Amino acid sequence: MNTFKPIPKKGNIIVAVAAISLFLATSAQALPKIKILATGGTIAGAQASTSDAGYKSGSFSVDDLIKAVPAMTNLAALSGEQVANIGSQTMNHEVWLKLAKRVKEVLAGDTDGVVITHGTDTMEETAYFLNLLIDSDKPVVLVGSMRPATAIGADGPANLYNAVALAADPAARGRGPLVMLNDTIHYARETQKTHTTHLDTFRSLNRGPAGVMNTGKAFFYNQNTMRRGGFSPDGLTVDNLPDVEIAYSYANFGGDGIDDMVKRGAKGIILAGVGDGNTTDAALAALEKAAKAGVVVVRSSRVGSGIVDRNVEVNDDKLGFITAMELNPQKARVLLMLGLTRTKDLKELQKLFTEY
| Residues known to be catalytic | 42
How crowded is residue 312: how many other Cβ atoms within 10 Å of its Cβ?
Answer: 14
CA distance 331 to 128: 7
Please check whether residue 46 is in contact with residue 60, taking contact to mean a CB–CB distance below 8 angstroms: yes
DSSP character at residue 32: P
Contact 308, 323 (CB under 8 A): yes
What CA–CA distance (Å, rounded) separates 60 from 45? Answer: 7
Q: What are the start-end ranges of the H helices in the chain?
A: 10-30, 62-68, 93-108, 123-133, 156-167, 256-263, 281-292, 316-319, 329-339, 346-355
One-letter amino acid of 65: L
Element (H, E) at 89: none
